[in-house]
Amino acid sequence: MKPNRFVRSRRLNNVIDAVGNTPLLRLKKVASTAPDVEVFVKLEFCNPGGSVKDRPAKRMVEDAIADGRLTDDKILIDATSGNTGVAYALMGAALGFRVNLVMPKNVSKARKDITQAYGAELIHSSPMEGSDGAIRLVRELVEKHPEKYFYPDQYSNPSNPLAHYHGTGKEILEVLGDRLSVFVTALGTSGTAMGTTRRLKDFAKEPGGRNIRCVAVEPAEALHGLEGLKHMASSIVPN
């Protein structure tokens, strides 16, 4: 039998150890009209939770456990539009801590079902207020019950971009190195953009490195309906 080329041959002790080291796939048809250009996508759906958000969730949780902010008597709570919630719920199931997720009521049923299957409790915010409404609600809950919750705050947590600096950016350079000229990503929490960009920009300072253009993409309008993405001019901007 021919092996699946996307299966990584590693023996793991925990599902969390499967986060990262996702494949880069060359898109030949997309670049067919530009013969001197290669286009690659990083297959973040290969993470165990199915998205890039596994990376920051893992880093934020591990850092909080290490410094004592997340303990057995605390409930992890955060605002999410879906993917980070799935990642938190997965971490909670694997490591044995409780998870509450605040998300807009109109988040897809599939996202809700997955997070609940992992044991997370959902708290719905107004669908009309989008992710900003979820952020405001979670802050209210934490302010009322600070002793009850650990609030990682994915939008302001430095562990979020660090996960991409030491993970996503590093992995891209290990495969492409000085072949890479442009990096493109979308904006939500901005963790992927900031962390990966910083690593790629540091590459320019290394021997044999080169300057890489980094492009961040956001929805053109405030009422865009795209889960996980932010129109920065009309949103609570991540710190």
| Per-residue pLDDT, 5 | 47
208 & 132 share domain: no
CB-CB contact of 138 with 75 (8 Å): no
| Per-residue pLDDT, 1 | 34
Record the tokens describing residue 229, joined without a space: 């993405």
20 & 99 share domain: no
39 & 121 share domain: no
| Per-residue pLDDT, 63 | 98
Domain count, the chain: 2
86 & 145 share domain: yes
In a domain, 6, yes or no: no
If one compares 12 and 170, the residue with the highest pLDDT of the two is 170
In a domain, 10, yes or no: no
Q: Which residues are catalytic?
A: 53
Mean pLDDT lowest for which of 43-47, 100-104, 179-183, 217-221?
217-221
pLDDT > 90 in the chain, percent = 74
141 & 217 share domain: no
pTM (whole model) above 0.75 = yes
Record the tokens describing residue 32, joined without a space: 């067919």
* Averaged pLDDT of the chain: 91
CB-CB contact of 22 with 42 (8 Å): yes
Q: How far apart are CA 32 and CA 10, in angstroms?
A: 34
If one compares 36 and 5, the residue with the highest pLDDT of the two is 36
In a domain, 8, yes or no: no
128 & 175 share domain: no
| Per-residue pLDDT, 235 | 66
60 & 146 share domain: yes
In a domain, 96, yes or no: yes
205 & 222 share domain: yes
Work out whether strand 98-104 and strand 121-125 pair parallel, antiparallel, or are unpaired: parallel
| Per-residue pLDDT, 218 | 84
Burial code (b: 16+ CB inside 10 Å, e: under 16) for 83-113 equals: bbbbbbbbbbebeebbbbbbbbeebeeebbe
Which of 130, 150, 170 is a domain's end point?
150
Which of 150, 178, 200 is a domain's end point?
150
Which of 132, 150, 168 is a domain's end point?
150
- 104-132, pLDDT tens digit by residue? 999 889 999 999 999 999 999 999 888 88
Q: Is residue 237 scored above 80 in pLDDT?
A: no
If one compares 165 and 35, the residue with the highest pLDDT of the two is 165
| Per-residue pLDDT, 34 | 85
Following DSSP, what letter does each residue of 198-231 receive, concatenated? HHHHHHTTSTT----EEEEE--SSS----TT---
66 & 102 share domain: yes
In a domain, 7, yes or no: no
CATH of the domain at 110: 3.40.50.1100
Mean pLDDT calculated for residue range 20-24 = 97
99 & 60 share domain: yes
Q: Is residue 197 scored above 80 in pLDDT?
A: yes
Q: In terms of residue numbers, what domain contains 33?
A: 15-47+158-234
Mean pLDDT calculated for residue range 16-22 = 96
pLDDT class for 9, splitting at 50, 70, 90?
low
- 132-164, pLDDT tens digit by residue? 899 999 999 999 999 999 999 999 999 999 999
